[in-house]
């Protein structure tokens, strides 16, 4: 099997390693089968799509809607690299699953708009699939409605031209969409479980997602939540796209 490529942007090792390990574990892949590049550490470099079964993009604290003057040189580089890659991926209709930052990366293409209209706090949120989501090859593995962990400062307020809406929540109309047949983005985190959320709450307590005094209550919320369904996206993505 050709390996899958995982792209990360988290500078904090605990969060970065936890995210990659969770994606690999839920997808049922070995480290050789899910190879990682940390874009916050080094340039993306050459990506020949024919070398890979598919690409998975993780989340992180970068937001495409951040004021341009506030973005670091690293963030500017990462955004440019991911935009160029995303354009190639869409043109080739190459298997791609962008979780969280995937919405920012894909959502600004083809006339789409990503802004601060539909922010959601760190929470366990109820997600509902659209009719297209229920019949989709990838999203169709999920139940018609389910709970997922998330927390985001930005979201899609206008879908890219030709995008298919797959999932929504009460506070955020676009929780998942597809471009072409094989290019996907989710606002929610398909890899995030209770342990992972608690780690990120500790890591990002001073990143503006929540009041630092809320750490304990957010962990209590996480432990009281039942989030079991979003993870199904990952092995299904591998099942659909693992290539010899």
Residue whose tokens read 């432990």: 223
Q: Which of 100, 152, 172, 182 is catalytic?
A: 100
- What gap in Å lies between CA 243 and CA 4, rounded to an integer? 9
Average pLDDT over residues 62-69: 95
Predicted pLDDT at 130 = 98
Tell me whether residue 191 is one of the annotated catalytic residues.
yes
124 is catalytic: no
Question: Does residue 100 have an active-site annotation?
Answer: yes
Q: What is the radius of gyration, based on Cα positions, of the chain?
A: 16
Query: Residue 244 has what pLDDT?
Result: 74
Looking at residues 7-26, what average pLDDT do you find? Answer: 97
85-115 per-position pLDDT tens digit? 999 999 999 999 999 999 999 999 999 999 9
174-209 per-residue burial string, b: 16 or more CB within 10 A, e: under 16: bbbbbbbebbbbbbbbbbbbbebbbbbbebbbeeeb
The pLDDT mean for the chain works out to 97
Tokens 């229920």 locate to: 134
pLDDT category at 211 given cuts 50, 70, 90 is very high
pLDDT, average across residues 118-143: 97
């Amino acid at each position: 099997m050709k390996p899958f490529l995982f792209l990360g942007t988290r500078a904090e090792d605990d969060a970065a390693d936890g995210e990659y390990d969770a994606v690999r574990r839920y997808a049922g892949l070995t480290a050789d089968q899910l190879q990682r590049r940390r874009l916050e550490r080094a340039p993306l470099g050459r990506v020949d799509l024919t070398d890979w079964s598919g690409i998975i993009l993780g989340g992180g604290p970068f937001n495409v809607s951040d004021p341009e003057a506030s973005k670091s040189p690293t963030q500017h580089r990462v955004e440019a690299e991911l935009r160029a890659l995303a354009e190639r991926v869409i043109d080739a209709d190459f298997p791609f699953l962008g979780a969280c930052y995937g919405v920012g990366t894909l959502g600004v293409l083809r006339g789409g708009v990503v802004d601060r209209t539909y922010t959601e706090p760190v929470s366990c949120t109820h997600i509902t699939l659209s009719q297209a989501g229920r019949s989709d090859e990838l999203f169709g593995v999920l139940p018609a409605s389910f709970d997922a962990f998330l927390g985001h400062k930005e979201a899609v307020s206008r879908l890219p031209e030709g995008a298919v809406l797959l999932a929504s929540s009460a506070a955020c109309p676009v929780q998942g969409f597809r471009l072409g047949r094989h290019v996907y983005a989710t606002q929610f985190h398909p890899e995030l479980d209770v342990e992972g959320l608690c780690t990120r709450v500790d890591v990002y307590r001073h990143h503006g997602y929540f009041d630092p005094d809320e750490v304990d209550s957010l962990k209590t919320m996480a432990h009281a939540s039942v989030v079991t369904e979003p993870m199904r996206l990952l092995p299904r993505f591998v099942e659909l796209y693992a290539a010899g």
